[in-house]
Structure 1
């Protein structure tokens, strides 16, 4: 094992590029119930915003893509959020009009019950039930 690898202590920030920062804040804070941890203007047309579930040390940065990058949206993020009640959360998000899978997926042990959802820019996220 490399000594370099042992110096990494945590996953700090995951970035989801977004074209409409205010709409993303409304979704992640207003709909998912995350906290807004940072909202920093960076020049005339750029803003760095960090959101996270209460108590989480890892944050999600929602910010416009760099100027020469393609438009944001429709990304498979690889992000999996944990919940203790996947069925209740699925029902709540569906009732709130969030684009979620029709049903919770149940593949059996050792795979936890889970479902996919899409944010307002069609970025794909997963919710999985973790009871530990």
Structure 2
């Protein structure tokens, strides 16, 4: 067996790292965790307190469904706030029986992420 203990970093393809950094930090409220020269440039961001980071990886082919699921205490409130700040969000928050409220959003490169309301389910 391995000694793997956590997911450290997930890469998201972006055309312009500065534009992506402005979006993730300025619009989503993430923290910039790393910005160094590594061959080209390596940039990582994360929600405050998160151990897992998102690497903004320079790519000629951005615009993917990242599969990344972020959590929030208030999906409706965040949906309204992000929409008000010009973020490309789904038209409405999804409310399905037995499933937490959630909605999709897209970064400036068209990369899709999903924001899910954290509930206290046992």
Q: Shorter-normalised TM-score: what interval?
A: over 0.9
The aligned length equals: 120
Which residue in 2 is equivalent to 1:108?
97
Q: Which has the higher contact order (CA 8 A, sep 6+)?
A: 2
Matched, 1:17 2:13: yes
Distance 1:17 1:103 in 2: 26
Q: Which runs of 5+ in 1 are unaligned?
A: 66-70
User: Does the 8 A contact of 2:13 with 2:63 survive in 1?
Assistant: no
Q: 1:77-116 to 2 correspondence within 5 Å?
A: 77-109=66-98, 111-116=99-104
CA RMSD of aligned residues (A): 0.9
Q: Which runs of 5+ in 2 are unaligned?
A: none
Q: Larger radius of gyration, structure 1 or 2?
A: 1
1:128 to 99, 116, 120: 116
1:38 to 34, 40, 53: 34
TM-score with structure 2 length normalisation?
A: 0.94
Q: Which aligned runs of 4 or more in structure 1 are off by greater than 4 angstroms?
A: none
Distance 2:96 2:21 in 1: 32
Report deviation, 1:17: 1.4
Which residue in 1 is equivalent to 2:51?
57
TM-score with structure 1 length normalisation?
A: 0.88
SS of 2:24's partner is helix
